[in-house]
Amino acid sequence: MFKRFKSRIVRRLNRDGSPVASSPITTGWQHSFSSEYDTVCQRLPLDSPPDGASQSHSNLGDPETPPTPGDATPELGKQEAPSTPSSEKNPTQQNCIWVDSGGAGTETGGNRLQPFAGLEKTPSMHFSQPEPQMVMAIPGLQDNYYLSPLAWGGRSLVALALGSSVALWSGETQRLLGSVHLKPPASTCSRNLGLFTSTCSVTSVSWSRDGSTIALGTGDGEIQLWDVERSCKLRSISGHLSQVGALAWNQHLLSSGSLLGSLHHHDVRAGPPVGVARLQKCVCGLEWSPSGQRLASGTTDGLLCIWPDDPGAAGRNKPISTIPHPTAVKALGWCPWKSELVAVGGGRSDGMLRIWDTNTETCLESTATNSQICSLRWSSRRKELLTAHGLPHNQIIRWAYPTLAQQAQLQGHTGRVLHMALSPCESWILSCGSDQQACLWSSKLQDDLRPESPSAHPNPGALQCVSAPSSSEQ
């Protein structure tokens, strides 16, 4: 019944040319739907330039203005949708399929490149800079700053959302293993609105810690769990009524954040959510600490919130701390060796890299990058972190910790570097850009020996994981 009602609303909104979203419930959370959606429209254009969007969208107000005091307090404990007996959909009602890769050739019908098909590298004019080991095509990657479509799992499998499909690529064999394709009814696919993703798109991906299960967040608010070994869908989780832009695992607990600001926590072994929180703006960043004791969330209005490890416990449904920023908090990451530290990268109008002590809410270190920071990753083997950037140079920068001195710059993209992932052994960096290309980099420092090309190994298809010095050796 709810699915049919939602489908009718979607069709009506498509006829009107309005963004697809669901109204909040009338009891409990009293908030104007149109006001919230208009605010989201006004805050997103700079960090998510619309492709072919109307001029009225692209000329709206500054998306990264500092949050007002009234917006600084999250509204908690409210659900995005009315409670149901179970948030699990019937897994037999398949609306998606698994497709195995043929493994031969690099083109599909119409001479369209397959995901991760190798491309010829353009000779670099910066001969003193490292060059990517591989350059691959990733057709269909959305140029959207606020999504999280890339993840490198513990079994050396890369998942990359490309529109309505998710490509799975093996870092060991350098081959496309297969892909998950959504098959929504034609009536539920909204047109591309520039700022808002089609409801039939995959908007976020995240691997479980053991690398056996992948969670997919979609544009219509559904979360799908897939077993990659058996190539089958385990279950679907409902509850969100807007696109799921961020996912994060903590053992069997899966946290998800939506465009309408809802933060849900699901025990994947059970049905209903074990915890629900309500933020006032879009959740665009989400990450559990390595110890699993804290969750960091970032929103489009510049709030970094730190949450406890048990979101369902009575009296603990509020953030431990809330730290405001001048721009959206999208790029964030926990320090692997100091559990209280979180790094945050600023948006286009800020461009600052900051290291926060979340216990004292103190900024310990900061440096100006003079560009939008789209992604951020810490190294657990070296005392350093990596940031991926937009204009003007579209590069990856390696920073030493705690000095935040630049160690190296990696330049290989012609568009902003939207997403970045480290291999489990941290010997390789995978970056994905708005130029619809993926670059594979050796993570060795410049003063190391020249990294050996993957093609030079006895098995030319294997990426060898080279052990990096531990932090105790630094």
Torsion sign (Cα): 336, 299, 149, 251: positive
Task: For residues 382 and 396, give the distance between their C-alpha atoms in angstroms, rounded to a whole number.
Answer: 17
- Would you place residue 389 in the very low, low, confident or very high pLDDT band (cuts 50, 70, 90)? very high
Stated pTM of the model: 0.75
Q: What is the pLDDT of residues 99-132, one digit of tens each?
A: 776 543 344 444 568 899 998 876 554 545 688 9
For the sheet with 384-389, list strands across it.
Answer: 373-378, 384-389, 395-400, 406-411
Spell out the domains of the chain, with CATH numbers in brackets: 134-185+200-473 (2.130.10.10)
Residue 449 burial class via C-beta count within 10 angstroms: exposed 0-12, middle 13-18, buried 19 and up: exposed
Task: For residues 271 and 279, give the distance between their C-alpha atoms in angstroms, rounded to a whole number.
Answer: 23
**Which residue, 227, 245, 243, 240, is CA-closest to 266?**
240
Q: Which two tokens stand for residue 186?
A: 């034609």
**Which residue, 209, 164, 170, is CA-closest to 183?**
164
Q: Which has the higher per-residue pLDDT, 77 or 157?
A: 157
**Which residue, 279, 413, 388, is CA-closest to 333?**
388
Q: Which has the higher per-residue pLDDT, 254 or 14?
A: 254
- Would you place residue 9 in the very low, low, confident or very high pLDDT band (cuts 50, 70, 90)? low
Q: Which two tokens stand for residue 141?
A: 């990657």
Say what the pLDDT of residue 65 is: 34
Mean pLDDT of the chain: 75
Residue 56 phi, psi (nearest 5): -65, -30
Say what the pLDDT of residue 272 is: 81
Torsion sign (Cα): 289, 295, 300, 302: negative
The percentage of the chain sitting over the pLDDT mark of 90, rounded to a whole number, equals 55
Q: What is the pLDDT of residues 301-316, one digit of tens each?
A: 999 999 988 766 655 5
- Site of tokens 């997403």: 419
- Which residues, 6+ apart, have CB-to-CB distance to 21 below 8 Å? 33, 37, 241, 242, 259, 260
Q: What is the pLDDT of residues 437-455, one digit of tens each?
A: 999 998 874 444 333 444 3
Say what the pLDDT of residue 99 is: 78
**Contact (CB, 8 A) for 36 and 256:** no
Given a cut of 80, is residue 84 above it in pLDDT? Answer: no
